[in-house]
Amino acid sequence: MLSKILITLMLAYPIVAYIVLWLKQPQIIIAYLMLIFFLLAIEKCRNKHWYSGLTLLLFVGLIAYFMQQSYVQYLLYFPPILILSGLFILFSQSLLSGQTPLITRYAHILGDNLKEQHLRYNRSLTVAWSVFFLLMALTSILLAIFSTIDTWSLFTHVISYLLIGSFFVIEFIYRKRHFAGEIEDSFFQFIRKIIKIRPHNLSK
């Protein structure tokens, strides 16, 4: 039950953050983030991951302590930038020597029959995702430094997710044409399969 609440809160974060910042109430989104971290800490402690759970609780306590400071609003910039940067690292690290490209790992789990042309395509696609997330992260950082918080929020909480979704759709259409007759799933069937894959299954 707790994990489902956490997932719901995390999925709702971008739109909640955008609306709250549009209403000029940054304290609300900081409290929202604190709630997510608090529930995540409880979940970790329930699963006996005491170190990470207590660390998260300490982090929540520190945010609560500094809540009245004016500079605490800069915490708003970190989640989207960290997410985009983390995705860039996740994809790009899988391209290092001795590693399996992340897209290939997904393909293996999905049970795809991979030929040489599929392996080349999957590696190129992993490179494309890496560059895409790097550009997104850099754009978010530059907007945070040089633009208004409204413009930054519009990009990181709305436009970036639309771009990611568009990338998924365009790539799926291209791949279905590129490998004509080999892909039977519809786009939504493909997404459902992707969602079911657990992170620990993607280890090298």
DSSP letter for each residue of 80-91: HHHHHHHHHHHH
- Cβ-proximal residues to 35 (8 Å cutoff; 6+ apart), any chain: 9
Residue 179: phi and psi, rounded to 5, are -110, 60
Burial of 122 (0-12, 13-18, 19+ CB in 10 A): buried
pTM, two decimal places: 0.80
Which of 83, 80, 51 shows the shortest CA–CA distance to 157? 80
- Tell me the mean pLDDT in the region 43-62: 80
Question: pLDDT value at position 69?
Answer: 63
Q: What pLDDT is recorded for position 200? A: 54
How many angstroms separate the Cα of 137 from the Cα of each of 10, 32, 50, 125, 142?
Answer: 19, 22, 32, 18, 9
With a cut of 70, say whether residue 199 has pLDDT above it: no
pLDDT (mean) for 141-168: 93
> Would you call 46 exposed, middle or buried from its count of C-beta atoms within 10 A (0-12, 13-18, 19+)?
exposed
Q: Is the pLDDT of residue 124 over 90?
A: yes
Q: Report CA 5 to chain centroid distance, whole Å.
A: 18
Whole-number pLDDT of residue 192: 81
Q: Are 167 and 132 in contact (CB under 8 A)?
A: yes
